[in-house]
């Protein structure tokens, strides 16, 4: 009888202990904010996708190592390689979406963004499409879950055209502009803005699509040789960019008349061309150096936790990935300010945080990001938050900033946004959000 009582007591204690363990595990789980990551470290675009992915991962690691997480909530993340393929991107989304009660997805592809725009709302997952995606999704009254933070392709195209207009003393009438673009949703995005400006400014616009992956461009550059445009805009990605520069060299087109979007003006795009690419310019939305870079080198790479080579820390695409992660983190931090610091945020709460971002200069300095990114704030009406960039130019060995910050012209962009957002809403039978919904 005593033996039986002892066994029962041990069993009861074991059940109690397992309950404590389960409770402890649940508490530990409750203190983790999950960040799904959809990079591409493989495929034709890997040379450009990898540094972005490394910067993204290193920043999440830094927040844990330096700050102990987001107000004490540790960050966990998992990558699923999309290879820049839309079908694989959707598969990765489906694979990772169940690991949290709502999360931030960054597709890093306009094609994947198009596919997920209709899926994400039902799952209560926000999409940050920083510098890509649907340009009209800056209208938060139609696109409640999309956040093209820090600039759309319409903003980017407008900034380049402002710069070219200034070079031409304010007059582009009769000038020839050629757009060499990746024949995909990404490459086609700037076309409406460029066409609108062409009507306003009187320049001739030639559209030259390049099929995936962009290696074969001889026919494209034969047309450029024949048409002799005054400027060439490059909307490429991965190997397409270096291929375009090499063809420009071969056909004798001056590189100082070529301007790339922010995805066409980084180190991988010019390193194989070297001195021959001298004079080529493009957009950049991040800065260099600063405390955050030093912190990552010390607290992440210095502890052998770096995601890639330390030599790329601080480079253009690495910084872009790092800032993309920072935007996601600050969206969660902003949500915590309303719904509870030290708590894990769900999908609705995170969406509210992204829609009410207020990352000012003081906050950027505190995070060590003040030399790398500009302040950004969002509203229900404006999911873009900021729309400025600078031009940097390749000198044969490195990139040098050649302009100050240029703000996109909203007087041109806003009517386009409304036109295309209205069209999307009509096609999908959506009603614009009410003032009450904007407060929710």
Residue-by-residue DSSP string for 69-128: SBTTBEEEEEE---TT-HHHHHHHHHHHGGGSSS-EE--SSHHHHHHHTTTHHHHT-EEE
Residue range 82-99: average pLDDT? Answer: 97
Question: What is the predicted pLDDT for the residue at 202?
Answer: 98
Whether the model clears a pTM of 0.85, i.e. scores above it, the answer is yes
In 3D space, the residue among 205, 131, 130 whose CA is nearest the CA of residue 172 turns out to be 205
Element at 32 (helix H, strand E): strand 32-37
Cα(249)–Cα(252) distance, integer angstroms:
5
User: Considering the domain 32-152+288-388+415-438, what is its CATH architecture?
Assistant: 3-Layer(aba) Sandwich (3.40)
Query: Mean pLDDT across the chain, nearest whole number?
Result: 93
Name the percent of the chain lying above pLDDT 90: 92
What number of helices (H) and strands (E) belong to the chain?
A: 17, 15
Question: What is the predicted pLDDT for the residue at 30?
Answer: 55
pLDDT band of residue 288 (cuts 50, 70, 90) is confident
Query: For the domain with range 154-286+392-408, which CATH number is right: 1.10.3720.10, 3.40.50.2300, 2.60.40.10, 3.90.1150.10?
Result: 3.40.50.2300
pLDDT band of residue 25 (cuts 50, 70, 90) is very low
> Where do the H-state alpha helices sit in 213-278?
218-227, 239-251, 267-270
Cα(103)–Cα(97) distance, integer angstroms:
7
CB 184 within 8 A of CB 110: yes
pLDDT reading at 3 higher than 80 = no
| Each residue's pLDDT tens digit, 376-409 | 999 999 999 999 999 999 999 999 999 999 999 9
CB 178 within 8 A of CB 206: yes
| Each residue's pLDDT tens digit, 137-148 | 999 999 999 999
Question: What is the predicted pLDDT for the residue at 18?
Answer: 42
Question: What is the predicted pLDDT for the residue at 22?
Answer: 40
pLDDT reading at 26 higher than 60 = no
Write the Ramachandran bin of 401: left for phi over 0, alpha for psi from -120 to 50, otherwise beta. Answer: beta
Question: What is the predicted pLDDT for the residue at 14?
Answer: 43
Q: How many CA atoms lie within 13 A of 430 on its CB side?
A: 17
- The burial class, CB within 10 Å (0-12 / 13-18 / 19+), for 267 is middle
CA distances from 333 to 105, 170, 180 (A): 16, 43, 40
Tell me where in the chain the CATH 3.40.50.2300 domain(s) lie: 32-152+288-388+415-438, 154-286+392-408
| Each residue's pLDDT tens digit, 194-243 | 999 999 999 999 999 999 999 999 999 999 999 999 999 999 999 999 99
Residue range 173-181: average pLDDT? Answer: 98
């Amino acid at each position: 009888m005593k033996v039986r009582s002892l066994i029962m007591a041990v069993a009861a204690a074991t059940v109690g202990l397992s309950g404590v363990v389960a409770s402890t595990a649940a508490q530990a789980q409750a203190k983790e904010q999950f960040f799904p990551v959809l990079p591409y470290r493989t495929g034709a675009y890997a040379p450009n996708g990898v540094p972005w992915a490394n910067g993204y991962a290193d920043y999440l690691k830094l927040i844990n190592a330096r700050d102990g997480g987001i107000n004490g909530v540790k960050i966990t993340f998992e990558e699923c390689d999309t290879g820049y393929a839309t079908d694989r991107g959707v598969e990765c989304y489906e694979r990772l979406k169940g690991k949290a009660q709502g999360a931030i997805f960054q597709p890093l592809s306009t094609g994947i963004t198009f596919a997920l725009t209709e899926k994400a709302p039902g799952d209560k997952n926000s999409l940050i499409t920083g510098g890509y995606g649907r340009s009209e999704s800056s209208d938060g009254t139609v696109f409640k879950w999309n956040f093209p933070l820090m600039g759309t392709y319409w903003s980017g195209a407008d900034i380049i055209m402002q710069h070219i207009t200034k070079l031409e003393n304010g007059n582009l009438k009769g000038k020839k502009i050629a757009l060499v673009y990746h024949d995909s949703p990404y490459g086609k995005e700037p076309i409406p803005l460029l066409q609108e400006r062409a009507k306003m400014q009187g320049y001739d616009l030639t559209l030259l699509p390049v099929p995936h992956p962009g290696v074969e461009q001889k026919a494209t550059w034969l047309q450029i040789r024949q048409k002799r445009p005054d400027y060439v805009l490059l909307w490429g990605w991965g190997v397409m960019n270096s291929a375009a520069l090499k063809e420009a060299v071969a056909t004798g087109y001056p590189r100082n008349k070529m301007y790339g979007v922010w995805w066409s003006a980084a180190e991988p795009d010019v390193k194989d061309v070297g001195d021959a690419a001298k004079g080529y310019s493009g957009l950049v939305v991040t800065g260099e150096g600063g405390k955050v870079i030093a912190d990552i080198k010390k607290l992440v790479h210095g502890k052998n936790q770096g995601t890639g080579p330390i030599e790329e820390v601080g480079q253009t695409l690495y910084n872009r990935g790092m800032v993309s992660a920072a935007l996601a983190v600050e969206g969660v931090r902003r949500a915590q300010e309303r719904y509870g610091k030290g708590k894990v945020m769900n999908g609705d709460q995170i969406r509210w945080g992204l829609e009410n971002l207020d990352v000012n200069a003081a906050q950027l300095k505190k995070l060590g990001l003040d030399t790398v990114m500009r302040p950004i704030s969002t509203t229900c009406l404006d999911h873009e938050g900021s729309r400025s960039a600078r031009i940097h130019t390749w000198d044969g060995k490195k990139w040098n900033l050649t302009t100050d910050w240029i703000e996109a012209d909203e007087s041109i962009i806003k009517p386009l946004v409304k036109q295309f957002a209205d069209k999307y809403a009509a096609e999908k039978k959506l009603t614009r959000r009410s003032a009450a919904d904007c407060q929710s």
